[in-house]
Each structure stands twice: as C-alpha cells, then as structure tokens.
Amino acid sequence: MMTANTQMNIVIIGASGGIGQALTQAIAEQYPESNLFGTYLRHEPKYTGATFSQLDASDDSAVAAYAKNFDCVDWLINCVGFLHNEEQGPEKTVRHIETEFFLENITRNTLPSMLLARYFQGPLRKSPQSVFATISAKVGSINDNHLGGWFSYRSSKAALNMFLKGLAIEWQRALPNCSVAALHPGTTDTMLSKPFQKNVPKEKLFSPGQSAGYLLQVIEQLSAENSGQFWSWDGSRISW
C-alpha cells in the first residue's frame, strides 16, 4: 500500500469537474510528496497543487500525445463523465432515444477509458503497484437495474464496466502489478447531477469533498489481488 510519504506519479483525467477537482485536492493534501497531474477540457482549475494540461480524453491522437509525457505512472484516475447537455437529458422512455445523444454518451463515458488504457499501459507497467480507476455509476449495473430508463447513460456505463472487466483480465498477464477498478461515487452535488437531486435524501447527497474522501479511501485499498471489481464509495462491491 502506498503511504503519504511515498513519491508517486498520479494523473487525474477530468480534474476540472466537481469530483475530479475535489479528488485532485484531496490527493495533493494527503500525498504532498507526489507528482500530481490533472487534465481539463475547457476551464483550467485554479488549484495550485497539480500541473494541469488541456485534454479531450475522447480524442485518440490527443491522448496518445499526452501519454508520451510520462515514463512511469502509479495512479491513473479517470473522472470524465457525461449525463446531459443543454438540449437533452437521460431518457425517461425508449421513445426519447436519439442517435446523436446516445453516441455522445458512449464517446464521453466509455471511449476515454479505452484510449487511456491503450496509451498509458507502458507507464503503468513501470510502477511496482499501479492503479487504473474510472468513475462509473451504479446505474450502469445490469443486475441492479430495477427502474429502467436512462438508456444512453446506463448503456454507456455498462459498456465502460465491461471494458474494465475485460481489461483487468488482460492485464493480469500484461500488467500483473496493476489494479483495474470501476468506482461508484454515490450521488454527488455537482452540475452533472443537479437536475436530478430532487428525490435524493439529504444524507445520501454528498458534497464533492465527501465523495472524493470516500473514493480516495477505496483507491488506497486497491491491489493487484482485487483487480477487476466494481466498487461503491463505501468500499462495498457492486454487482456488474
């Protein structure tokens, strides 16, 4: 297990979002000796605890170029996510499915982790105990789906989970010291979830700082032995 005095190379993809920025700050405070890097899509975070770069994590050539900056990476955490835009939100019924919206969900929720795994495999291999973790969502669990709806978002997160499960199997051979993980942060008070918080009990709506603290505790417990799991914010396992 890594300790606060361990000098690690940590990369946070999507460090400008609510959870991403809070997680970046939490790691900077808890691991002050580490080299911390973060990416943003449009607006560079004001926080000074990391080195930030602009990156579209769904752009193949951009991810390939960014990965070349790193020789060794200990933790790579992907916080990029998409739920709604100004024109459309999660579908309440199959009648609301639109091709462009579905593809945007896939492009922003599924594709980035695939590209990051492809191009950061080399740097992650050089770490004695690496982590490749992605923020997923419990609604991406097929077994846990009891309400239906939200077809594009659920499907993109389920596809993400399937990729991570398959990646963990491949990396048992190719990167035996790496732990691959899908992380459910709980319902977090961010712009992503803002339109859907009405029916969330107050005690189950976390601030970004709360979610980041819980997720960091989970990440710290990851190891090659428990690679390929879907983890909830409280450390419990979620059914795929």
- Does residue 194 surpass a pLDDT of 70? no
Domain boundary assignment for the chain: 9-232
Q: Please tell me the predicted confidence (pLDDT) of residue 86.
A: 78
Contact 171, 118 (CB under 8 A): no
What's the fold here for domain 9-232? Rossmann fold (3.40.50)
Report the distance separating Cα 47 and Cα 25, nearest Å: 8
Q: What is the mean pLDDT of the chain?
A: 92
Q: What is the pLDDT of residues 144-177, one digit of tens each?
A: 998 999 999 999 999 999 999 999 999 999 999 9
Report the distance separating Cα 80 and Cα 2, nearest Å: 24
% of the chain beyond a pLDDT of 70: 90
Question: pTM here?
Answer: 0.92
* Least confident stretch, 32-36, 162-166, 194-198, 211-215: 194-198
At position 103, the amino acid (one-letter code) is: L
- Does residue 59 surpass a pLDDT of 60? yes
